[in-house]
């Protein structure tokens, strides 16, 4: 649904929901709690962050991070970010550009020579903007596959294809595989494992102490981990991992709203990315597929907002930033039910109006 239709719908929904659930003299937090009530109770939950003028003014959890152990969700709960990860992968590439270790115009075969000659015109820029034309790796996974695939498996599957959907740069098609390849390029250009690079260059400098790139059965566990659930036959069932849950550059980060508040703050400064890199990340790139939504580097761009959603088995997340107004809303949830973008947009519009 295009944003121009979402805003009036969202505001109307705010009014009706608040009227139904909130007392007459509702405080802002009471109204927000009413909107978030779908996540409250003995159900898989969510964590909500609202930042205004550089200050987190709402940081709270709803429902449970772990139903079996009755662990409540809170500001420090770590969720699988899914595609919200892509902004961190893009930032890693931009950091290496700042270091002089790579160029955005580099052909990706410079870093990934395993790829076929048919990929010869694809550049790092094309991967960042989803304009590569690469075949979706999800469509190449054997139907009987049960073991998780990793980044190297994705590289092998993509390398086995000698054709593209379109000529690089001629169209836009969202590509998880492109961001897996970007993560591998980060490794080869830096000489470091992707998880270590992000830890040393992004998470540690920002004090994001509970954020990490996670692979199931490998490496450290998220410290306050939320487990994903799906509503199946009217019952919440743990569906935390899928065949594609071990790929990294496209969706492998676990983080909390408390840590994302630090990431959001850094995007206004030169602490990580310089002004040129931030401009690149938040500038629309042609061509696009949606007339109402542009794409930068790991960010969608709609009107005054820069945002990205993330969905994987058992998780639904979104970050929406209004940079000119210095407002950010983040919802991380460990369930497959409800897309949080309209709700986050509603909450953000409320704070813009107050």
331-353 pLDDT, tens digit each: 999 999 999 999 999 999 999 98
Q: How far is CA 303 from CA 223, 254, 284, 322, in A?
A: 36, 28, 11, 9
Dist CA 127 CA 112 (whole Å): 13
Could you write out the DSSP letters of every residue in 168-185?
A: TTS-----HHHHHHHHHH
Give 335's DSSP letter: B
- pLDDT confidence of residue 210: 95
Side-chain-facing half-sphere of 352: CA atoms under 13 Å: 20
Side-chain-facing half-sphere of 19: CA atoms under 13 Å: 6
Q: Name the residue among 296, 251, 288 with its Cα closest to residue 138.
A: 251
Dist CA 322 CA 319 (whole Å): 10
> Are the C-beta atoms of 21 and 37 separated by less than 8 Å?
yes
pLDDT band at 12 (very low <50, low <70, confident <90, very high): very low
Question: Over 50: is that where the pLDDT of 306 sits?
Answer: yes
Topology (CATH level 3) of domain 77-325:
Beta-lactamase (3.40.710)
Dist CA 178 CA 198 (whole Å): 18
Q: Which range has the worst mean pLDDT, 114-123, 215-224, 255-264, 268-277?
A: 215-224
- pLDDT confidence of residue 24: 34
Residue ranges of domains in the chain: 77-325
Dist CA 272 CA 92 (whole Å): 10
Q: Which residues pair with 302 in a beta bridge?
A: 305
Q: What is the mean pLDDT of residues 123-130?
A: 98
Could you write out the DSSP letters of every residue in 159-171?
A: HT----SS-TTS-
Question: Over 70: is that where the pLDDT of 27 sits?
Answer: no
Dist CA 321 CA 329 (whole Å): 7
Dist CA 136 CA 177 (whole Å): 6
> Are the C-beta atoms of 188 and 112 separated by less than 8 Å?
yes
pLDDT band at 102 (very low <50, low <70, confident <90, very high): very high
> Torsions phi, psi of 263, nearest 5?
-65, -45
Dist CA 104 CA 186 (whole Å): 12
pLDDT band at 221 (very low <50, low <70, confident <90, very high): confident
Burial of 120 (0-12, 13-18, 19+ CB in 10 A): exposed
Q: Could you identify the residue written with the tokens 């992004």?
A: 202
Dist CA 207 CA 16 (whole Å): 40
pLDDT above 90: percentage of residues in the chain: 86
Dist CA 122 CA 131 (whole Å): 9
Tell me the pTM: 0.92
Q: Could you identify the residue written with the tokens 């897996």?
A: 180
Dist CA 329 CA 336 (whole Å): 20
Dist CA 265 CA 321 (whole Å): 11
pLDDT above 70: percentage of residues in the chain: 92
> Are the C-beta atoms of 105 and 124 separated by less than 8 Å?
yes
Q: Beta 235-238 vs 229-232: how paired, if at all? A: antiparallel
- pLDDT confidence of residue 11: 42
Rg (CA), the chain: 20
Count how many residues are written for the chain.
Answer: 354
């Amino acid at each position: 649904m295009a944003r121009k239709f979402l805003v009036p719908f969202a505001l109307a929904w705010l009014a009706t929901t608040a009227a139904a659930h909130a007392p007459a003299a509702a405080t802002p937090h009471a109204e927000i709690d009413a909107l978030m009530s779908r996540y409250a109770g003995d159900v898989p939950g969510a964590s909500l962050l609202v930042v205004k003028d550089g200050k987190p003014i709402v940081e709270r959890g709803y429902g449970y991070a772990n139903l079996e152990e009755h662990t409540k969700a809170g500001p420090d709960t770590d969720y699988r970010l899914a595609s919200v990860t892509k902004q961190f992968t893009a930032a890693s590439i931009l950091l290496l550009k700042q270091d002089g270790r790579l160029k955005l115009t580099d052909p990706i075969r410079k870093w990934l020579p395993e790829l076929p000659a048919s990929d010869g015109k694809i550049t790092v820029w094309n991967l960042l903007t989803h304009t590569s034309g690469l075949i979706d790796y999800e469509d190449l996974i054997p139907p009987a596959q049960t073991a998780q695939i990793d980044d190297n498996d994705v590289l092998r599957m993509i390398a086995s294809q000698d054709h593209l959907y379109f000529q690089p740069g001629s169209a836009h098609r969202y590509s998880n595989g492109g961001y897996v390849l970007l993560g591998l390029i980060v490794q080869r250009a830096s000489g470091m494992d992707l998880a270590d690079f992000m830890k040393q260059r992004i998470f540690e400098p920002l004090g994001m102490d509970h954020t990490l790139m996670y692979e199931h059965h490998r490496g450290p566990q998220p410290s306050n981990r939320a487990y994903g659930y799906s509503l199946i036959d009217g019952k919440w069932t743990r569906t935390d991992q899928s065949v594609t849950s071990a790929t990294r550059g496209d969706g492998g980060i676990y983080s909390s709203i408390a840590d994302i508040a630090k990431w959001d703050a850094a995007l206004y400064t030169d602490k990580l990315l310089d002004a040129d890199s931030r401009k690149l990340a938040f500038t629309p790139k042609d061509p696009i597929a949606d007339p109402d939504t542009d794409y930068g580097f790991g960010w969608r761009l709609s009107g005054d907002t820069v945002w990205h959603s993330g969905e994987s088995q058992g998780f639904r997340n979104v970050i929406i930033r209004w940079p000119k107004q210095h407002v950010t809303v983040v919802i991380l949830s460990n369930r497959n039910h409800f897309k949080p973008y309209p709700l986050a947009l509603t909450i953000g519009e409320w704070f813009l109006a107050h």
